[in-house]
Copies of this chain bind each other. A is one copy, B any other.
Amino acid sequence: MAKRLVVIGGTAAGLSAASKAKRNMPELEIEVYEKSGYVSYGACGLPYFVGNLIHEPEDLVSLTADQLRTKRGIPTYIHHEVTAIDRVAKIVTVSNLDTGDRFERPYDALVIATGAVPVLPPIPGIHAEGVHCLRTVESGIALKARVQCGAKKAVVIGGGFIGLEVAEELALSGVQVTLLEGEKRLLTFLNEEYAAEVERTLSAGGVSVHTGCPAKEIILQSGRAAGVLGADGCVYDADLVLVAVGVRPCADLARAAGLALGYKGGIVVDEHLQTSDPSIWACGDCVQMRNLITGEPCYVPLGTTANKQGRIAGGNLTGEDGCFRGVLASQVTKVFDLYIASTGLSMEQARSAGFDPACTAITKGDRASYYPGGGDNHLYLVFDRHTGRLLGAQGIGTASVAGRINVLVAAITSGMTVSQLNELDLVYAPPVAPVYDPILIAASQALKKVDKK
């Protein structure tokens, strides 16, 4: 059994692993090394910190490195980068970024939770001053400083969740925002109609959206970003540029140590989150995942998965036998007053996975029609045309759409057909739902497209 655990990375996955291991085995000696200046922070809250809905960076932090040491007995070091793993000697090399000191630490068990890094499109000017990403607390502080120092115009490159959330927050902060998306629509995992509604919502909120328009160049003035040249030939002026075209696994350390890497360069782990080296576990945004429906490798870096995987890895390295079976890519956000949620496969993904999928889209109020207030839920189901098995779901509308997508998460996970979905005894009361819940309306419509035997 392990006596010394080293954890590389001090956010969701790494600290979940460390905390779980410590709970299971209080005598375990643990050290956590975090490259940045913050540990245990809610990275998903960064857009709202930029928009000043959350005031201080410390508000995002659950436990500081000091508190982890004193309250949890987990010595945690910020500004410490692990630069090498010697798997034979079971030693990591650590660099103190404040002092420049280097030292070595032995381990019996190692957890790699190095997370992800933003993808930077290879265009001129991408490394210039005034070009931001949003990933660490420091990157949030830098972006917020720019906003609070009076930035008037921003270009957001990338129409994924982070791009949309920041675009919203910047617009609400009074910044004039242009959003450039290279694909033909925002949020490409959504169906076209819903993506168009998201675009309308952003436009109504004052964000100028250009789809099918990848950024070609960062235009510089006196060496710093002053605009972005789009593929449409237009230059969009900017005091600040946010690049949010996605992230990739931060797996250089694992690669250098000779660990197997897989899909999109994520560290290959088994269901127990063990790497190709049985003394090394990996979890969170740095690992390859599996889609729960198709069993195929995928990469869906999310805080929920990172926390769950960390807990399982921490349990397993102390002798448990936990499994992480895979992801559905369930996600949610809001843009202004429009909530957007999704789980499972899109039509394209379902086809690629060998299904013969059908889909249906419905719109239904989220309360009894006669009850005041409320608004619409739009639900879109993807299902197998022959078996009726539910494969995916997307929803936009009022806040209640999140709960409805979660019902469909449970349905997909348990292998339900749309016929079984149609029979669910869901709750009803006029202030909360219509008598036929939007889920049941969607299921009954879907049922019509399933082959009759």
Contacts and interface: CB of A to CB of B under 8 A. Distances in A.
Contacts of A199: none
Query: Chain A interface residue count: which class?
Result: 35 or more
A171 to B, nearest CB: 16
A331 B308 CA distance: 31
* Copies of the polypeptide in the assembly: 2
A24 B158 CA distance: 49
Most buried by B among A308, A343, A405: A308
A54 B368 CA distance: 11
Contacts of A404: 403, 406
B371 A427 contact: no
A166 to B, nearest CB: 13
A154 interface: no
A437 interface: yes
A341 B425 CA distance: 13
Nearest to A302: B428
Given A368-B42, A368-B44, A404-B403, A304 B425 contact: yes
Interface in A400-451: 400, 402-407, 409-411, 413-416, 420, 423-433, 435-437, 439
Most buried by B among A45, A60, A325, A406: A406
A368 B53 CA distance: 13
A334 B302 contact: no
Contacts of A59: 370
A11 to B, nearest CB: 11
Contacts of A426: 304, 330, 406, 409
12 contacts: A48-B371, A48-B431, A53-B371, A54-B372, A303-B435, A329-B425, A333-B432, A400-B400, A404-B406, A410-B424, A413-B420, A413-B423
Given A62-B369, A327-B425, 4 more contacts: A331-B427, A332-B429, A343-B425, A400-B400
Interface of A: 12, 42, 44-45, 48, 53-54, 59-60, 62, 161, 292, 302-305, 307-308, 325, 327-334, 339, 341-343, 368-372, 399-400, 402-407, 409-411, 413-416, 420, 423-433, 435-437, 439
